[in-house]
Each structure stands twice: as C-alpha cells, then as structure tokens.
Structure 1
Amino acid sequence: MMSDTSVAELELSIVMPCLNEAETLAICIDKAQGYLARSGVRGEVVIADNGSTDGSQQIAIEHGARVVDVAAKGYGNALMGGIEAAKGTYVIMGDADDSYDFSSLDQFVERLRAGDELVMGNRFRGGIEPGAMPPLHKYLGNPVLSTIGRMLFRSEIRDFHCGLRGFNRQSILDLGLITTGMEFASEIVVKSTLDGLRVSEVPTTLKKDGRSRPPHLRSWHDGWRHLRFLLLFNPRWLFLIPGSVAFALGILGSILLTFGPVQIGTVGLDVSSQVYLAALAVVGYQAMLFALLTKLYAQHEGFHLPRSRAFERFAQRASLESGVIVGLILFVIGFAVAILQLSVWAASGFGAQDPVDTMRLAVPAALFMMLGFQTAMSGMFLGILSIDIRRPR
C-alpha cells in the first residue's frame, strides 16, 4: 500500500469505467501498468466499477489496480466516481474494452505537462482499424455530431466522442459536470471550451474491442442523447434563431394582410393565410421566449452556456416588472382593436358583418393579446427566478 506522501505525489491516474469487462480488463490494466513502468511516470490505475457481476473487481485487484465502487448507474456516473477518487494531478480516461492502447500515452502526458487542461484523442487522425467502428458511427454519427459541436461552441475538436482523453483533474472537477450517461463525453468538451480551458488533440488509434459480447453503446439512442445535449446547451440555435425567423414571418405577414389580400406571383394570400401566419408568429415568439428563459435559468443555476453581449444586456434589464409592462402594452394594443371592432359593430346595430373584413382585423387583435399574455407570464417566471434563496450545503 502506498504511503500518504506517495499518494500525494502521484502525477497520473489512468481511470477506466467498468461494467462486466472480465474478458478485456486484465490486458488493459497490464498495458497501463506497463506504460507507467516504462515511462517512469508516478501513477496509478483506477477501475471505476459500475456494478460488475462477472468478477471484474477481483481481476482488477489481482493486476494491481485500485477499484472504486460506483453505485449510481451510467457511463458518466462511473467516470465521475473514478475521477473524484483519483489521486493523480492528471487523469487519462479510456474504455476497458481493449479498443484503446494504454501502453502508448506519451503524447497525452506531454501535452498535459505543457499546460493543456484537456487533451482529446483523435481516432480519425490516428487510425481506425477495419471493423473497429461501425460504418454508421464512422461516416455519419461521429462526423456529424463533432461538426455540430464545433459549430455551436466554436470548438477546435474534431473527434468529440473519442473515449481516450486526458485532463487536469482539478480543472475538470471545477467545471461542475452533471450528466450521468453517455452525454458525459460531450459535456467535458463543451464545458471545457466554454470555460476557456486549454484544449488540444493528439492522434490515437482505435482497434476492434476484444469482447465477445455486444458493446454497451446503443447507436441511435446514445447518438440522440449526445445531439440533444449539444442543442439544449446552445438554445440560440435550437430556439432563438428558428423562433426569430418564424416570428418575423408571422407578424409581418399578419399585419400586411390586415390591409387587404396579397398576390405573390400566381399565389394569392388572404385571411386564411393570415390565420396561419398569426399561429406561426405565436409559435416563433414562444420559442424566442423559451430560449431567453432557458439562458436566464441556466445563468441563475450556474450552468455554463455560450455567452453574448446582447444577452448580457437583456439579462440586466429583464425583470418581472419589465415583462409585465411590455406584455400589458401588447395586450392593450390588441384589446383596443377589438374594442374598435365592437364599436363599429354596435354602430351598425349589431347586424350581419362581412366575415372577411371582420377577420382581417380580428386576427392581429387576437395575436397581440396572445403575445401580450405570453410576455407577461414570462415576466412572472423571471420574478420567480429573481427571488434570492438560501441553498442547502
């Protein structure tokens, strides 16, 4: 057993999540131990066991690894348990299925010693052996998700989901990682980028894993979880931009048709189109409000989302009072048009009305009242968020 002084001086912890990996665990540990011995790096091998029932724990102990039992299920939970228990200044994590070469970690350690806080492996640069990655993942899943990640978060990483990666342990713990499943892989990259950590990539190889059973990964299910995480962490692209486009088209179209039918080429637009355009405006406005409320809630709860100066200015001015005032103004505009229509109808003795002319004004009136109510309710929600509370430690 290492003394407290020895433990405190460890430079590297090699952490492997494990769930019934008896077939390949020993060779992974031996490669990692061999690397530590060859390189002279003071380190340890940590197996974050997530409830194995095939004797993986005993195999790990027999091959000189330290086993950390993680009760909470999930890839993210297992890794976080291992990272928290690690004693090294740096951590290199990788799957225990013998698809990554733990005997060749020099480039990771070199970049970490140079000050990089997250060092990602890149399988597309290092080489993917035939059969090591399903074609769906190789040509669609990983490239598409990595491209979306780079676009949404301005990241330079080209392989978001490489399972072999190294990082400064304290820097990653300070990010406040929260996901429990496969999204954990994306969360590390996204939050490291948003927090301005020094991030780099090194080539790494991927070979066919040595297990006889199918992998835990579920292609479509886990791919969707990664995509959902990337989109929800950037509400600007998921809600704000599509919502703004829908709202602009809907509100302009609705108001334009108030003055009469519009002919665009061979297409004629009238009150029926006005109704659908009003609905589009409502949906778009709701998406815009949701994007803003999502970011305000995330800011309130300490989440790290992409920042913008425009949003910061909005956040400083947004309050219950401002939301209610703007909502009331919009509602009053719509209500005034409705009262005007009622007055005209009363002056005619409440007789029959022309349905087209009536709808032409009724649609924008109803639209403004709905937008006003939505705005006021969003202001109420901001009021709830602004209440200072004492949080349990």
Structure 2
Amino acid sequence: MISSRLLPETIDDGVTIADFSGEYALPAIEVSVVMPCLNEERTVVVCVEKALQTMSRLGVMGEVVIADNGSTDKSVELATEAGARVVHQSQKGYGSALQKGFEEARGKFIIMGDCDDSYDFTDLERYIQELRGGADLVMGNRLKGEIKPGAMPPLHRYFGNPVLSGFLNLLFRTGVGDCHCGMRAFRKEAYQSLGCHMPGMEFASEMVIKASKARLKIREIPIVLSPDGRDRPPHLRSFRDGWRHLKLILMYSPSFLFLLPAMVMIALGLLAAPVALLAGYGTYETIFGPNFLIMAAFMAIAGAQIFFLGLIARLQAHRVDPVFASPRMDWLLRTFSVERGLISGGVLSLIGLGLTIPVVSEWFRSGTVSQPALWILAGTLLVLGIQTMFGSFLIGILELQIERSRQKKL
C-alpha cells in the first residue's frame, strides 16, 4: 500500500511536481531545472519559485533540483520549503555539484543555471521549445543578449569571455559565441553520452567541446544577465578559473598543444644546417656558425620529444574517450607497427652515421673539423633516429596495455 504522505495533495494536469518521491510509479517528468548551490540563502528561494511557477504556467511537468555543495547557511532548508528537491554533493566544485544534480534529475530535458538570481528562470520556454524541436544542447548567449549594468565585470565581458570563447572555437569550431554561459539546456541522454567529469568551473568548457566533437545539435539563444543578489563576492576567481578553462582547452587539443609546435620545431631545426651550408655559412667564422646550428639541433631534438608526447596523448584520448575518437587515428594505428617505427628510426640513424664518415675521416687525418655544420646535422639525425626507435617501442607497450584492458572487458 502506498503511504498517503508520499503523495502530493493534488495532482492536476499542468501542475509542476517538484518533490515527488516514493515507491510508486512517478509521472513522466519532462524538465528538470538543476541549480548548483553553495550558501545562496538570499536568492535560492526566488530562483526556485520562478522556475516552478514558469513550468506550471507553461503546463510542463517538471521539477527543480538543488545540487548543494556543502552549504553552511539555510540554503537547503529554504530550497526544500520553496518546493525544490535537494541532493548533496560532498566533492567540492561547480562541475561536481552540477554532475550530481544531472545524475539525480528525473527529467528528459535538463535546464541548468546558477541560483544567485543572475539568470532569468522565467525564460524557460525558449529552451524547452528548442529541445522539443530536436536540439541536443541549447546555449544561452549573454554577449548577444543583454548584460545589465553591474552584472558582469568588464574584464570578463570584454576580455575573458570573448578571448576564451574565441580560442576554444579556433581549435574546436563549436560555433558557440558564449562558451561559458551558466544557463544552458540539454537532453539528459545526450549529456550522458559525453562523459563529462571536470570538477570545477572548466566543466562549462568541457561540455561545449565534447558536444561539438560528438556532433550534437547545438543551438544558441540570446539571454539577459542581471546583477546577482549575493551579499558576498562570487565563487568565481577570474585568473584561477580562467587558467583552468585555458588549460582544459589545451589539454583537449593535443594536436595543437603538442604536434603542431613539434613539427615546426623539427622542420626549422633540421633545415638550419643544410640552409647554412648552401648559403656558405656553418663555419666558425660566420654568424650562423656552430653555436647557431647547435641550438637548431637542440630545437629539432626537443621537437621530436614533444612530437612523441603528443602522439601518445592523442592515442590515449582516442582510446579512452569515445568523444575524441578519430578516423585519422584509426588509420594511423592500422598503419603503425613497432617494426615500421624501428625501420624508420634505423634509416635516420644510418643517414646520420653516413654523414659522419667524411667528417670523421678528416678529423682522424688532420685533427680538425672543417665542416661543423655537417657534423651537427649528422649527430642530430642520429639522435632523432634513436628517439624514433625507442618511441616506437613505448607506443607499442601502450597498445599492449590498451588491448589487455579491452580483452578484460570482453
């Protein structure tokens, strides 16, 4: 038998069910409004009430979920009294709180937003319409909407948000103009496919990047941002959280972080010696002499090291996270073998050794090296060959470990 205390007093069509729990079949909830919360007693009630009243007015079966992140004020009690369902996340962080809220949300659609009264929870209809129309992720855009006086610091409005969003779009081409907007909506099923896990503010960037890489249908709508209702500084820390966003963007693009600079360094380093020789430089008497060429050699060797680190990072991302799976990496893995890597490294080493023959012969004969550029180029190729051979073994070992893990899952 169902206990009467578990049932709402009335259940009418179009009435929002905010705290519906118990051992019985629940009505299908379409929309969950999830708000992260850490000591927001001044504003949490008005946010919850706006969201509930709006869903009721729209005839949407929905709920409000407060993801509390360890509040020490009356936020939890006030949110519960206002009609929200409160879930608790002990792991600190904006992203951690949201992930707990999303996990506990019962709705098909989830709309997230801060409960500091800076976002307008009476403006839910446009998000719901976009999701009903087939969108997977609906982003609010404060920069194309209205930012009321005092709502966003000039540093964030004119530098932080545009620069970080622009850099993110440069690498991932998401098409999102305000990648860090805190009010957004998505299909829960689509979100679960992304595997987002970052604990801090960088969670906002992670969701946009992964949604774009997964080719989800992303829509963007202009929204209004108002001054928050807090009586204390915000949890956001401009430089700390800005760096965390930038760091995540770079780590999620190993091709840009590692491979691109590595190839430039290798090319410039290896070309320096032949160009110097052909131009009549490379001797002790010229400006582009041994000292310059030694630095070029160091650049090429460092570039090769960075290249292998980037290749390993790209391989790891490809294997571990399905969102970052790439047909090009599939082709590379099919083409690559330890044996081919050893052959390539061996050829480079043999070329290097071959170039040393005339230099070493002259050295033994006269005790001098009249072609230091050739000597440095030969040594560089020899080192690069050795790096290639041992790097191939390392990639082969990693592939063995990944294959072993795959077999265990089967």
Q: What TM-score comes out, normalization by structure 1 length? A: 0.92
Q: Residue 160 of structure 1 aligns to a residue in which SS?
A: coil
User: Are 2:341 and 1:323 aligned?
Assistant: yes
Matched, 1:65 2:84: yes
Q: Which residues in structure 2 correspond to 1:1-393 (within 5 Å)?
A: 1=6, 2=20, 7=26, 9-258=28-277, 261-262=280-281, 268-305=287-324, 307=326, 309=328, 311-338=329-356, 340-346=358-364, 348=365, 352-354=367-369, 357-387=370-400, 388-390=403-405
What is the CA–CA distance in structure 2 between the aligned matches of 1:173 and 1:260, rounded to whole Å? 59
Q: Could you tell me which residue of structure 1 aligns to residue 11 of structure 2?
A: none
Task: Output the amino acid matched with 1:359.
Answer: P
* Cα 1:7–1:166 shift into 2, 3 Å: farther
CA 1:107 to 1:352, structure 2 compared with 1: closer, same or farther past 3 Å? Answer: same
Structure 2 counterpart SS, 1:205 = strand
Give the distance between the partners of 2:46 and 2:338, measured in 1 at CA. Answer: 60
Task: Give the Cα–Cα distance (whole angstroms) in 1 for the partners of residues 277 and 379 of structure 2.
Answer: 13
Moved more, 62-71 or 246-255: 246-255
Change in CA separation of 1:218 and 1:46 when aligned onto 2, cut-off 3 Å: same
In the other structure, the counterpart of 2:12 is none
Distance in 2 between the 1:320 and 1:314 partners? 12
| Separation of aligned partners in 1, 2:296 and 2:206 | 38
Are 2:70 and 2:89, in contact at CA under 8 Å, matched by a contact in 1?
yes
Q: Secondary structure at the match of 2:324?
A: coil
Shift of 1:269: 2.0
Structure 1 CA distance for aligned equivalents of residues 299 and 323 of structure 2: 31
> 1:279, 1:390 → 2: CA distance?
37
Question: Which sits farther off after the overlay, 114-123 or 143-152?
Answer: 143-152
Instruction: Report the Cα offset of residue 314 of structure 1.
Output: 2.4
* Aligned mates of 2:316, 2:105 — CA distance in 1: 32
Any conservation in 1 of the 2:273–2:374 contact (CA below 8 Å)? no
Aligned equivalents of 2:23 and 2:188: distance in 1?
A: 19
SS of residue paired to 2:225: coil
Partner amino acid for 1:195? Answer: A
| Secondary structure, aligned partner of 1:15 | strand
User: In 2, Cα distance between the equivalents of 1:274 and 1:390?
Assistant: 45
* 1: CA distance, partners of 2:397 / 2:343: 16
**Mapped contact 2:362–2:368 kept (Cα < 8 A):** no
Any conservation in 2 of the 1:260–1:270 contact (CA below 8 Å)? no
Change (3 A) 1:42 1:6: farther
Task: Quote how far apart the aligned CAs of 1:111 are.
Answer: 0.1
Identity of aligned residues (%): 42
CA RMSD, 1 decimal: 2.1
Cα deviation 1:17-46 (Å, max 9, x = unaligned): 111111211111111111111111100000
Q: What one-letter code is carried by the residue in structure 2 that aligns with 1:367?
A: T
Q: Tell me the distance in 2 between the aligned counterparts of 1:243 and 1:306.
A: 22
Q: CA deviation at 1:306?
A: 7.6
Taking the aligned partners of 1:24 and 1:238, their CA distance within structure 2 comes to 41
Measured after TM superposition, the shift of residue 4 of structure 1 is 6.3
1:257 touches 1:271 (CA, 8 Å); kept in 2? Answer: no
Letter in 1 for 2:350: V
> How far did residue 75 of structure 1 move?
1.1
The answer (yes or no) to whether the contact 1:47–1:66 under 8 Å persists in 2 is: yes
CA distance in 1, matches of 2:256, 2:72: 43
Residue deviations 1:329-364, cap 9 Å, x none?
222322343455334433x2xx5314xx25223211
**Structure 2: how far apart are the matches of 1:39 and 1:224?**
40
Separation of aligned partners in 1, 2:337 and 2:42: 58
Cα distance, 1:97–1:126 mapped onto 2, change above 3 Å: same
Deviates more, 1:292-301 or 1:254-263: 254-263
Amino acid at match of 1:180: P
State the Cα distance separating 1:283 from its structure 2 match: 2.4
Q: 161-170 or 140-149: which moved more? A: 140-149
**Structure 1 residue 14: deviation in Å?**
0.3
Q: CA deviation at 1:288?
A: 2.7
1:175/1:191 contact within 8 Å kept: yes
